[in-house]
Structure 1
């Protein structure tokens, strides 16, 4: 049976998370995506009618191919210059492509269009702040509607306009009097603190930043804003000569988000006696931070367009904001816009605490684009420059895994574990897990099993480790009850994870429990539609319970579904001849097809949090 490509460490947002929050307890493991090519410019002269241009533009838009979408929307406007829908989508595509000034021209023209007023008001107001027209900005950004998110956004932006106009006390009063739900507080506390910093009112800044840092709900509500507050307060104390208070503030952040990489860099700087500059020093940067705060809080699967829109507008006002650049890069990778991601990572300032994060992610993105040798060279150089940085080994290991160079992958994680030393932390489970995968792929179970068990010791509830180790035990016909129990525990932890449910179904299949296998494999197909391996498994299950027509249907589905590692010739053989009869003399786990490596679902995209 084929191997499922479920255990390769991949890039994108998930890997950005493990690099940013190394040691937090998340492994960036997922089904690898094919290398994506950024769009080739389309010749709009091929569109010779409004409908042709419009349909082609919408297709490009849906595919996040904004370069071609922009060109084609403009072509459509040559046929219908007054078409508001086309102009609206053109404006949004311009912003999403990073063309702020061009998008602004469209926003000015559409300022009375109610359908896009939410966007046009913000960008017009921000442009006024950028140009120092603070009273104009306040008028544009005035909002009295019922939407809580819009109220918070516009009030914060308007207050930053007041700060720019030298009215910091009024700005702070505006926000302290803002009424809203409890989740407002982390945003308002952070931005009041930042406004006070810009105004030079250190006592007020310290008070409100401390409120944000000690807010127990802040990490769950807005982890990116919480970390900005921690770093702002630490910088404040360091600048005031309060080195120990600065380090204590960083420790509070560490307690909430383990080993946040930029915080570690800030700690090292302060320990050296340095006084790092604040991230927000102007009204424009503060206003940009509002959209970063909101975008970061909204950043989840399915919200990429909205988050990217906020972040692109934020980037236009504060082009050197490292956390904005890295978050935008992660979204670009998720949308398979690797060239755009690489360009964003390269823009992170050399003196930023996040520069190394961008360099690590850049290396993995190079691998995603098929530049494997360049990626290896880049990441090896990063390891050599700081051999103690575990994130470098994780990034390099992901490239080796993608290249299926398991020998080098195992050696890489052996070195990482030497660096970790004899007393690993709970968050180091991912390094042991990945080493176990490398040795399992090398068929060296005597080295793989201890690594898996160490990973499980460090993180006993980790579903991916439970799934992999449990499945491997079942596959090898050893400790069957223990192995099946681990897989069931993984399913209990992630009942909606189609890959792990598939693993349970396939374990039942390997044990000859075909009815139970079909039940779980049918559920896996529903949870993860269109996966070739799961379709193939279900076909095998159907055949063993006598549902042969359905088995052939599922095998045919496997041939046309996603999944690069299935053995297509073997599937075709099954379609032609079915499965061979079961050998009644075989041991339990040998009474069926050879097993694939168990699947692993994508890693979470949010940092580890403590309540």
Structure 2
């Protein structure tokens, strides 16, 4: 079977799972899901890096004594039935022409035209300036600006008024508030929120950023507003933690101590909150107490690297991290909101909040998070645009970005482009086992097995006791190079390391079945793989092929038909079904199935074999493999 899907499956638990930067490795998300009141539970992310604290606490924002003006009511202009004359920009382009161009470009991918969606959003913003009374234009310009990352235009285009869906209207208010803060107008942002609190579905994000915006505006009553007494949900705990930080900012240290301790010692307190309390103690030069706090947390999570580093710093007398600035607080709040939006399946919301965070403080780690949410939302081209912005100077993040870009190209059936990205990742981080593994897997897919083996037995991946995934990939490369006996030894070693891994069971089982060497044993391994992952159409194909090779042709037909229904565009599965149809006498259907294989871009070897079967049928009696030599353990 082909190797592409196998590679993606392995990377899903090797590269993506391990290639995370320390600053953004997430704590476990809480079990509860957010209800819908004004306070909604959220998950946590660890603190962003901060600069070491100076000896004196940072300066406070001055109090605002003057009342803040209410926001002005929006002007309403009637929509004309006919424009006479039609609105034109300074270059003579009509609003309608700009609209058509904007809609066209806003939907194109980066590969179609560099910067297409950014230009499309700009055109729609121009249309909005020419026709501000058009509600549909406003909504489309706002959405396009959000997706392209032009948040200032999004703030201007934010739709409002009767009939505007809350998902857009409240998002616009959130964007306007955050962008106002970014541009030094925190007072106006808070005035708008106080006049009319931001409602669901964006209320959670607003609750997590407004204390920091309020502090920047000098509105300490709002900044220090406490959640309901006794609340224990995740969001309330996070808001209490933020309140403790802001109390410390106000130098109300006794109150801050009580607040920190309350949330840090609550059952199930997240490590980020515990570490925040320890950092407070370090800043107060109470290092022994800080070490005790870290030790208590390490007793529950002894391998947590952030806790280990915090304890080492406190014990050695290193300088404690500073309190977050207002900007860092807003970034953390937005990233927390992103995490919970994604947990609830709202990855478009998560992407919007993360874009806002990125606009507050540009950071390549945040860019990786944004690309992840865009990918989860199905916006692959937009994700690649973001990944392309990660700078080579951020070496670790750059390597991760290149791996993610490679995976994206692989998913889009662009293996050569994927290889280029994995090579860039390896050049940036040659010491990374995850990057080396990703590159080796891509080389195996492209049948450059000798190059892959050089990595797989090299100093990064070729240690004395390699992981099961490495042994497995070695086996695939050796088998692709025709060194079948060595391949079997590596695959068996991988299976001994992870005896219930469906990928390993299926690959070795298919190798034995397709080679006709140990068909019964191979069929048993495949059956175990199918039992572990019954929804995988590629493993089901291996099961059907094992039945075929055992002469169970009618059973194989049923199994392979179901496999084709799960993976209709897989050339090999369709080829196998054609063989099974031939063996049960359904020869017209067999011919149709083989002809279909030729439309699915098979490799040259399979194409030649299928053309021969279309002309001559299968030999009778069956002898040896009918679909060519084994090419792997299945699309996993």
- Confirm or deny a common fold (TM above 0.5): yes
Q: Which of 434, 457, 465 is the matching residue for 2:473?
A: 434
Q: Which of 444, 449, 462 is the matching residue for 2:501?
A: 462
Distance 1:594 1:547, change over 3 A: farther
For 1:86-235, list aligned pairs within 5 A.
86-107=137-158, 110=160, 114-115=164-165, 116-141=168-193, 147=200, 150-166=202-218, 171=223, 173-175=225-227, 182=233, 184=235, 188=239, 191=242, 203=257, 206-207=260-261, 210=264, 214-215=268-269
Q: TM-score, normalised by structure 1?
A: 0.72
For 1:325-336, list aligned pairs within 5 A.
325-330=367-372, 335-336=380-381
Q: Which of 352, 361, 380 is the matching residue for 1:309?
A: 352
SS at match of 2:390: helix
Whose radius of gyration is greater, 1 or 2?
2
Distance in 2, matches of 1:400 and 1:419, equals 17
8 Å contact from structure 1 (residues 509, 517) kept in 2: yes
Task: Give 2:634's aligned residue.
Answer: 599
8 Å contact from structure 1 (residues 13, 330) kept in 2: no
Q: Which moved more, 1:396-405 or 1:298-307?
A: 298-307
Distance 1:565 1:153, change over 3 A: farther
Are 1:358 and 2:398 matched, yes or no?
Answer: yes
Cα distance, 1:120 vs. partner?
Answer: 0.3
SS at match of 1:415: coil
Distance 1:84 1:544, change over 3 A: farther
SS at match of 1:95: helix
SS at match of 1:6: helix
Distance 1:537 1:174, change over 3 A: farther
Task: Report which structure shows greater RCO (CA 8 Å, sep ≥6).
Answer: 1
Unaligned segments of structure 2, at least 5 residues: 26-91, 410-415
Distance in 2, matches of 1:507 and 1:57, equals 49
SS at match of 2:333: helix
Cα distance, 1:134 vs. partner?
Answer: 3.8
How many residues align structurally? 545
More helix by proportion, 1 or 2?
Answer: 1
Distance in 1, matches of 2:365 and 2:478, equals 36
Q: CA RMSD in A?
A: 4.7
Distance 1:234 1:487, change over 3 A: farther
Distance 1:548 1:458, change over 3 A: same
Deviations 1:61-119 (A, max 9, x none): 89996235425646876997644223322222222222122222212x65776232121
Task: Give 1:60's aligned residue.
Answer: 108
Distance in 1, matches of 2:565 and 2:595, equals 17
8 Å contact from structure 2 (residues 618, 626) kept in 1: no
Task: Give 2:19's aligned residue.
Answer: 19
Distance in 1, matches of 2:177 and 2:606, equals 57
Task: Give 2:598's aligned residue.
Answer: 559
Task: Give 1:7's aligned residue.
Answer: 6
Q: Which of 457, 465, 475 is the matching residue for 1:414?
A: 457
Task: Give 2:513's aligned residue.
Answer: 474
Q: TM-score, normalised by structure 2?
A: 0.70
Deviations 1:362-393 (A, max 9, x none): 3674795738568537624632xxx4x43343
Q: Which of 416, 437, 443 is the matching residue for 1:394?
A: 437
Cα distance, 1:346 vs. partner?
Answer: 1.2
Unaligned segments of structure 1, at least 5 residues: 25-43, 216-225, 602-611
Q: Which moved more, 1:61-70 or 1:325-334?
A: 61-70
8 Å contact from structure 2 (residues 102, 119) kept in 1: no
Cα distance, 1:10 vs. partner?
Answer: 8.7
8 Å contact from structure 1 (residues 56, 72) kept in 2: no
SS at match of 2:499: coil
Distance in 1, matches of 2:226 and 2:587, equals 70
Distance 1:59 1:326, change over 3 A: closer
